[in-house]
Structure 1
Amino acid sequence: MAKKTFKIRQIKSGIGYPKDQNATLRGLGLRRMHQVVELEDTASTRGMLNKVRHLVVEVQES
């Protein structure tokens, strides 16, 4: 059985936001604007997304 994943894209810069939010973006693998990464759907990943939901957009669940 394939693990659930989703693709996220950074839509807003982390400049001007707290350091912990920038670190969360890095932890998600996002380094630049409009970059898309595919991540495994886990509770920790969802928590990280919730923290920076104003800077990223969830593109597609699969």
Structure 2
Amino acid sequence: MSQDNQKSSSTIKVKLTRSPIGNPKDQKATVAALGLRKMGAVVDLPDNGSVRGMVFKVKHLVTVIEG
């Protein structure tokens, strides 16, 4: 049980490093769904498959900080 708690408590920090302007609407929506509104914004997100998939989709716009 404690392993599950540790696994669910792991987070990643995602930073918006490039603007989504000029990118397709679905990529803009993905950036918004990650909670990134302004350039340089950093958000803590749970480290799971769905978040990793969204980050992968906009990997050219964001930077991931593990931890």
Q: Using structure 2 for the length normalisation, give the TM-score.
A: 0.86
CA distances 1:7-62 after superposition (whole Å, capped 9, x unpaired):
11000000000000000000000001000000000100000000000000012x22
The residue type equivalent to 2:61 in the other structure is L
For the aligned residue pairs, the C-alpha RMSD in angstroms reads 0.8
Structure 1 unmatched ranges of 5 or more: none
1:15 matched to 2:21: yes
* Pairs within 5 Å for 1:1-62: 1-2=5-6, 3-59=9-65, 61-62=66-67
The alignment of Structure 1 onto Structure 2 pairs a total of residues equal to 61
Structure 2 unmatched ranges of 5 or more: none
Report runs of 4+ in structure 1 exceeding 2 Å deviation: none
Higher helix share goes to which structure?
2
Q: Using structure 1 for the length normalisation, give the TM-score.
A: 0.93
Identity %, equivalent residues: 49
